């Protein structure tokens, strides 16, 4: 039986969720049923279907008391809405059901593991969080919180670990049948660490070790960890708060961090490389799953805490997920490409090859706001291009620009003129691998977002844009001469059964 708090959220979804017309949402990116969405939670397969839960406040377009919203999909692109899964209805989660993971239990039920938040007054009279880890068990729609919650609290922390910042368990079943979880924690030096626990199948957790720690190098608190094998290596991802820029690799504020290394049950995790995950403006709290056919897929909140106050006036939903991405490793770096399922929705192929660009052009058939377009740019002639730009979501007043400077190997995303009426961060520049002036950009547009995949996934950059939908022109412009190939498809989801 759902609690009154959960039933109220479910009734609210039924009453108001259907008021939002489909064309006011992205065509294939996950959005909340109604109200606010942040982090992806419990991104996992259950009984052969992919479930995605999310941090959810149905009652407004702002962050509030955290529920878990619920979606499922067969192809990562068309999302079926399910009733809200969790609500803050117990003492131990009265201030919110924060982020977490999900896993199928050996008895066929689904286990959700999440952070329960309570508020208390500290010695200075200030309100502070107490965060513990809790579980709920269910059948893919309805979940019951376990009577013995929380399963992990302050006494399960290593020395110096903070109970104020102890959150976001990501749980998985290992090949040996043991259920593990990684959890973010703040240590005595004030910065983050990722803790590993095992034995979650018994609704408890035994602390195994600290996998890696920030030591004030990459931001402060490390949120939303995930830990998985990839192409023979081991990858630890996390979303650090309060980062400082490091050259063009990491930007200030809430960022993302991918640590690539090896894992040995005796020695633990040995970190060999660190990089950002997404180089755009809106990307946070990614989570991954393994598909039955062995692919590692990542999804993230396509938003940033530093920019959430800029939103369309009176919008009835706010927050969306990225396009799920297939991950791999190449030359010790993370490679990200759109899920291959996207190709099944391509329509109306338009192709232009070896088109000279000197000044600004547009190309027949190349426009739109729900599309998949690959552009390859090469220098040509004695006046090799000094910069090249692609403007999308364009009309007389608006445009969002992707600009490449081959001499500096610099790619820049710029949405200053996308129509967002707030003076927030609108541009991001990052270094891409130089290939003698040649660059390949796959650009995915979905009404209110833009995702760019550079050189077959060597880098990805995401941004939300709330430009009016009529702004659908696309132009190409070079200073100097370039030769381009463009392959563009519309993406069509209408009339498709979920
Ligand atoms: C990350 C985060 C998590 C937390 C959740 C609360 O975006 O701050 O650490 O569980 O959001 O909504």
Domain ranges in the chain are: 4-341, 343-491
39 given a catalytic annotation: yes
Among 37, 133, 167, 243, the mutation site with the greatest number of ligand 1 atoms within 8 A of its Cβ is 167
Q: Is 55 in the pocket of ligand 1 (CB under 6 A)?
A: yes
Please give the model's pTM, rounded to 2 decimal places.
0.97
CA of 39 to the centre of ligand 1 (A): 7
CA of 431 to the centre of ligand 1 (A): 29
CA of 395 to the centre of ligand 1 (A): 37
What lies within 8 Å, CB to CB, of 423 at 6+ separation is: none
Whole-angstrom Cα distance, residue 238 to residue 300? 11
Q: CA of 110: how far to CAs of 71, 136, 399, in Å?
A: 14, 8, 45
CA of 100 to the centre of ligand 1 (A): 9
The atom number, within ligand 1, closest to the CA of 55 reads 12
**Environment class of residue 48 by beta-carbon count within 10 Å: exposed (0-12), middle (13-18) or buried (19+)?**
exposed
* pLDDT-flagged residues of the chain (< 70): 495-498
Q: Is 66 in the pocket of ligand 1 (CB under 6 A)?
A: yes
Question: Is the bond preceding 150 in cis, omega lying within 30 degrees of 0?
Answer: yes
Q: Is 67 in the pocket of ligand 1 (CB under 6 A)?
A: no
Q: Return the pLDDT at 498.
A: 55
Helix (H, G, I), strand (E, B) or coil at 351: strand
Q: Return the pLDDT at 314.
A: 86
Residue pair 199/113 in contact by the 8 Å Cβ criterion? no
Among 32, 36, 37, 38, the mutation site with the greatest number of ligand 1 atoms within 8 A of its Cβ is 38
Among 32, 53, 98, 118, the mutation site with the greatest number of ligand 1 atoms within 8 A of its Cβ is 98
Catalytic residue among 4, 11, 22, 39: 39
Q: Is 411 in the pocket of ligand 1 (CB under 6 A)?
A: no
Tell me which residue has its CA closest to atom 6 in ligand 1.
Answer: 98
CATH 2.115.10.20 fits 4-341, yes or no: yes
Only one residue has tokens 């259907």, namely 18
Residue pair 197/170 in contact by the 8 Å Cβ criterion? no
**Environment class of residue 376 by beta-carbon count within 10 Å: exposed (0-12), middle (13-18) or buried (19+)?**
middle
Which uninterrupted H or E stretch holds 184?
strand 179-186
Q: Return the pLDDT at 18.
A: 82
Whole-angstrom Cα distance, residue 416 to residue 435? 28
CATH no. for 343-491: 2.60.120.560
Q: What's the farthest any 2 CA atoms get from each other in the chain?
A: 74
Q: Is 41 in the pocket of ligand 1 (CB under 6 A)?
A: no
Q: Is 449 in the pocket of ligand 1 (CB under 6 A)?
A: no
Q: Is 99 in the pocket of ligand 1 (CB under 6 A)?
A: yes
Residue pair 207/152 in contact by the 8 Å Cβ criterion? no
Sheet holding 268-275, edge to edge: 222-230, 233-240, 257-264, 268-275
DSSP state of 486: E
The atom number, within ligand 1, closest to the CA of 254 reads 7
The atom number, within ligand 1, closest to the CA of 99 reads 10
Q: CA of 349: how far to CAs of 265, 352, 373, 490, in Å?
A: 50, 10, 10, 7
Whole-angstrom Cα distance, residue 145 to residue 53? 16
Sheet holding 206-213, edge to edge: 166-173, 179-186, 192-198, 206-213
Determine how many CB atoms are found less than 10 A away from the CB of residue 389. 19
Whole-angstrom Cα distance, residue 431 to residue 409? 6
Q: Return the pLDDT at 290.
A: 97
């Amino acid at each position: 039986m759902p609690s009154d708090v959960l039933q109220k959220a479910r009734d609210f979804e039924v009453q108001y969720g259907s008021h939002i017309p489909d064309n006011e949402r992205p065509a294939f990116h996950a959005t909340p049923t109604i109200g606010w969405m942040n982090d992806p939670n419990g991104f996992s397969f259950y009984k052969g279907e992919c479930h995605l839960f999310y941090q959810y406040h149905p009652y407004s377009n702002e962050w509030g008391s955290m529920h878990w919203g619920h979606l499922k999909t067969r192809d990562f692109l068309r999302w079926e809405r399910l009733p809200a899964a969790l609500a803050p209805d117990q003492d131990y989660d009265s201030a919110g059901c924060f982020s977490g993971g999900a896993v199928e239990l050996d008895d066929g039920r689904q286990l959700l593991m999440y952070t329960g938040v309570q508020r208390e007054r500290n010695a200075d009279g200030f309100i502070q969080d107490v965060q513990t880890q809790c579980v709920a068990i269910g059948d893919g729609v309805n979940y019951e919180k376990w009577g013995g919650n929380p399963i992990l609290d302050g006494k399960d922390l290593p020395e110096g670990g903070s109970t104020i910042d102890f959150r976001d368990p990501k749980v998985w079943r290992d090949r040996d049948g043991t259920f593990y979880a990684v959890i973010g924690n703040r240590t005595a030096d004030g910065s983050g660490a990722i803790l590993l626990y095992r034995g979650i199948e018994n609704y408890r957790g035994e602390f195994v070790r600290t996998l890696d720690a920030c030591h004030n190098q990459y931001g402060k608190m490390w949120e939303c960890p995930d830990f998985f094998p990839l192409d023979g290596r081991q990858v630890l991802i996390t979303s650090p708060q309060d980062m400082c820029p490091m050259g063009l690799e990491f930007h200030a504020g809430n960022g993302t961090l991918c640590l690539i290394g090896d894992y040995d049950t005796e020695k633990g995790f040995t970190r060999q490389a660190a990089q950002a995950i997404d180089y755009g403006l809106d990307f946070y709290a990614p989570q991954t799953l393994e598909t039955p056919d062995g692919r590692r897929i990542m999804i993230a909140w396509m938003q940033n805490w530093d920019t959430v106050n800029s939103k369309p006036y009176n919008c009835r939903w706010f927050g969306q997920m990225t396009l799920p991405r297939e991950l791999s490793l190449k030359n010790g770096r993370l490679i990200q490409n759109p899920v291959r399922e996207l190709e099944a929705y391509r329509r109306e192929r338009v192709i232009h090859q070896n088109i000279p660009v000197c000044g600004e052009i547009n190309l027949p058939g190349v426009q739109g706001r729900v599309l998949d377009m690959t552009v390859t740019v090469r220098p040509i002639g004695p006046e090799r291009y000094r910069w090249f730009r692609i403007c999308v979501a364009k009309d007389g007043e608006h445009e969002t620009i992707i600009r490449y400077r081959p001499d500096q190997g610099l790619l820049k995303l710029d949405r200053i003129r996308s129509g967002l009426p707030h003076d927030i961060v609108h541009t991001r520049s990052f270094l891409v691998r130089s290939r003698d002036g040649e660059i390949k950009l796959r650009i995915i547009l979905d009404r209110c977002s833009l995702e760019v995949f550079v050189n077959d996934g060597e880098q990805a950059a995401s941004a939300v844009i709330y430009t009016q939908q009529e702004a659908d022109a696309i132009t190409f412009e070079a200073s100097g001469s370039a030769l381009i190939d463009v392959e563009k498809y519309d993406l069509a989801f209408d009339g498709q059964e979920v």
